[in-house]
Structure 1
Amino acid sequence: MHKQPGLVLPGAVQMRIKNSQSNSGERLSQTKSMVLPDPETLQKPVSSINRHRRNQSQHNMEASVGLQPVLKEYINKAKIAEGGKKLRKNWTSTWVVLSSSQLLFYKESKQEAVANLKPSCRPDGVDLCGAAIGWTTEKSSRKNVVQITTPTGDEFLLQADHFPTICKWHDTLQKTVDSLSSRTGGQSYGRAALKKSNSTECLSRPICDPPKPKPKDSKSEHRRSIMFKLNYSASDSADKNGVKNRLKKFISRRPSMRTLQEKGIIKDRVFGCHILTLCEREKTTVPRFVKLCVKEVEKRGLEADGIYRVSGNLAVIQKLRFLVDEEEELDLGDSQWEDIHVITGALKMFFRELPEPLFPFRFFDLFVEAIKIKETTQKIQALKKLIHQFPKSNHNTMKLLFHHLRRVLTKSQQNLMSTQGISIVFGPTLMWPEFESGNMEVNMVYQHQIVEFILIECLEIFGPEGK
């Protein structure tokens, strides 16, 4: 009997069945249950399909949320309240993305996540529908701070050192909130997608639906009822009129500010007081504290290493500041002020905390233009003319200070201080612009140059010390 060669079928298990009564010899039969997938041929399509599904799901999710970015960049963010409960303020530099309806906070930008081969982390989202946007100076000591308050009681702070940057964010946020409000008439019926945990499915809900009420605490309800009774217990007109009359009498009888100052209840401050007001109060043209510090430094600190450059103990400096504000008489020769750097630190703090610097605001740009003059004699005359236009208290205080710093420089071999070192310390201490405009580093260079030139030409500008 002639045997036919076996046929080889890819991806299948072949079975031979011999039939002695059949003239067809051997035949091959295949069953579906015996077909096994080839891992090399089938694995790639499966993975590509799954990847396509994941990408499509991610694309659909982002489209449903409305993540078309309006603004995006790194700025400083702090969350200060959640659900009306205050949180500890913690500033972080965050990648912030503003979309048409949401504000999203990422730990890193998407470009960085791709570069580092990290999966994009789920951002924290803030619905802007019904939110309040405004500038704030009370919630942070930083400058250029914008506060965002949501209807659910969450509060966020955004801050940038560059004012135009944060101003752009403030205006765009306000326009986004106004657009959402006008589009929905106070109620938003737009749809947003919420990611389901551990799933790629999306749950949709109205953007501004109020959160589900939390179980009420019996104690908080009791306190609310008490506050309600207290707030509305004086609802009768007679009671209201009585309260108003008592308040009017109290206000009319309260003592004046001068009376409180004379009785010592309210004391005038030295640190943070305008130099004109301080000199008028002390009936002098140079603040008394400045004279005391200069005298003490010249008595025992001219040869101290790094005088005015080395920082003193801040706690002791604050103690000295408190005593200066509270007491009229002060002995800087006392043992508790033995460290001369405490006295120099307090003097620098006095000038830094002036509401208006020793170089008045209106002269800042004029001094910058004058220092740019190349010819030395013309430069001296220009600076001298500006300084002689100062108020008398500013002029006399500056004259005393610069003559004192000249004496410090006569001991430069002992204290290792130079005109450049002194100018670096006192440049930003004695002058700064009223508004932070332009390049800060450039302004700092001009501050150093102005103070250094006045130090070098002190006698030409101010004349002898006695006159």
Structure 2
Amino acid sequence: MAGMRITDVQSTPGKQPPLILPPQLIGGSLGAVQMRIKSSQSSGDRLSQSKSMVLADSDLSQKPISRHRRNQSQHSAGGVGVSQSSVELKGEYLNKAKISEGGKKLRKNWTSTWVVLDGDRLLFYKESKQEALANLKPGCKADSVDLCGAVVEWTSEKSSRKNVLQITTNLGGEYLLQADNYSTISKWYDAITKTVNSSSRRDGGVVPGLRRSNSTEYLPRHSSLPGYGAASPSSKQRNPGYRRSLNMFPSSKLKHSVSDSADKSGVKNRLKKFIIRRPSMKTLQEKGIIKDRVFGCHLLTLCEREGTTVPKFVKLCLENVEKRGLEADGIYRVSGNLSTIQRLRFIVDQEEELNLDSSQWEDVHVVTGALKMFFRELPEPLFPFRFFELFVAAIKIKDSKEKVHAMKKLVHQLPKPNRDTIRHLFTHLQKVLASATKNLMSTQGISIVFGPTLMWPELDSGNMAVNMVYQNQIVEFILIESREIFDLNED
């Protein structure tokens, strides 16, 4: 009779079974539970049979889970529907690049990808499902990225594109997502960040709402345990290793190990990212880790640092050439050994004690080569950018006296470090010309060497050959008229 009464309840439409469990907690089909209830003899037996897994909150809704929502999480809190902290975004085309896998760098290759945020996973499709159906394709295969323990952040160093976010998984995979519209990528950044934070909280603790039978102890959420997802009493009896595996890992220890591993993974990812991402030179300079060097340093900055208007290295080189190289054949025209020049540059940049009389600098062309390299590597040339066109206009003046007056006026308008360094250099070059019979250097030869070294336009929009002609003519004219322009007769 009891069996007949239960059968009637099952066949009567609109009535619910006494207790409906989520599919992931049953292990088998709903029919298996109904067959167990048929064999029961009383309502008390049915209640005792169902005590193996109970819901924590008695007032939760008893509606069955819809099987048509494939994107519902089967590991949600309380076992009913999707958890309140889960985030879901419908598909959208974004630019994706995978730059690392398992800590190994990959070649960056941007592709337009249909991206879907599904629970704790980020799915990448080659095309949307609608397009796949329109093209009569059997289906879309997706690449899946687990967001549990991942790190999400904006980045501007991994790509020259704008609006780029980087996702680093706990397995060492690194992905870049980019969109031309900032609001679009910002929406994905917020959603992915919320998903990562919520998944981290869940993995660090337990699944709320599930308890062991006849116990107040919560079940840890760990899908790697044997028998996970098959929690019905019959399945436990069929799989005796299930309970043994749980006994091997007590709940408190398991929770500790999960949170501990998550913390270690987060620290490991941060350390790896810190090592891989090298800070820029500007950042190191602002923090005082690296000071401005001599080569490549702005002339004004270098003079302020040294407390002078002529760089010490320039003075040292000019004094050494005047002491032992004025009569050297082709002085400033002949190139020195490049590796030796670079070694000299390294010593100067490291602010080590420099002795140009040492035997390793016995070739005077190494000293002159280092001096020319210093002027070439200035961020702004010795004749500043804003004066380039003014000097070109002055050199075009036909009248010689007016040209001298215009050149003198421009030279005196230069910043003091530039003006004093130019005066010091051209005074030295006058001494080089005084020994022209021995070193075989003329004003034209010196201007060809120093023209493009001391001045160049900020933007090479014009004809480079024409600019070079003007550069040589300006240096040659100043060299010839240097006594008048720099008032050397007064010295």
TM-score (norm. length: structure 2): 0.45
Q: RCO (CA 8 Å, sep 6+): is it higher in 1 or 2?
A: 2
